[in-house]
Structure 1
């Protein structure tokens, strides 16, 4: 089974919808990752701000970080092998790695809000 790990730079969130402007690249990646997770694939994202221990425990990430600094992020590993440094994969690459169609990677996270107007 394919395993993909994305090591993100320090940022406030992985979706790209926080802050003064929306980053469409982060939104695209968040949608692709969400879609793949919903299908049960082994894909993980780690952020430098919230998962520094995972960065430190991975020898490849530590090596890249020492050689190139934080500007090397994001780094993408497929089955523990570095496949991308300094950028995110295209949806076609995600699709190839997991054997799905690229158009299957556009699912947006949904959250359902329920409230009773009579209780307001």
Structure 2
């Protein structure tokens, strides 16, 4: 089975919903990672802010960062080999690399959360 690792730049969170505005690209990636993990695929994300040891311990990633700087982030590895730098993989890329159906990455949550704001008073 293939293993995917995504090395993110420094940021406050990987979901894209923190800060003054929502980043749809980060939200898409977070959703794709969650769906792949739920399907049993080995996929990990590491943030420069929270996981600097993962960056330092991976000689491939460390070498790219020394050569190109943080502009190379995000860096995506499949089975330890660099497949993309400087941007996040598309859902199509992930589906191709992992040999999964694209629909797997476009699934919507099956249950909806209902919040009664009147009960918060």
Q: Is 1:37 matched up with 2:37? A: yes
Superposition map of 1:99-118 within 5 A: 99-107=99-107
Query: For 2:112 and 2:65, how far apart are their aligned partners in 1?
Result: 35
> Which residue of the partner structure matches residue 73 of structure 2?
73
> Which residue of the partner structure matches residue 116 of structure 1?
none
The one-character-per-residue Cα deviations of 1:18-38 (angstroms, maximum 9, x if unpaired) are: 000111110111010000000
TM-score, with structure 2 as normaliser: 0.87
Aligned residue pair count: 117
Structure 1 portions without partners, runs of 5+: 114-119
Query: For 1:88 and 1:78, how far apart are their aligned partners in 2?
Result: 13
Local SS of the residue matching 2:64: helix
- Residue 103 of structure 1 and its aligned partner are, at CA, apart by 2.1
The one-character-per-residue Cα deviations of 1:51-79 (angstroms, maximum 9, x if unpaired) are: 00010000011111111111110000011
TM-score, with structure 1 as normaliser: 0.88
- Aligned alpha-carbon RMSD (Å): 2.2
Structure 2 portions without partners, runs of 5+: 115-120
Mark the CA change 1:75 to 1:105 in structure 2 (over 3 Å): closer, same or farther.
same
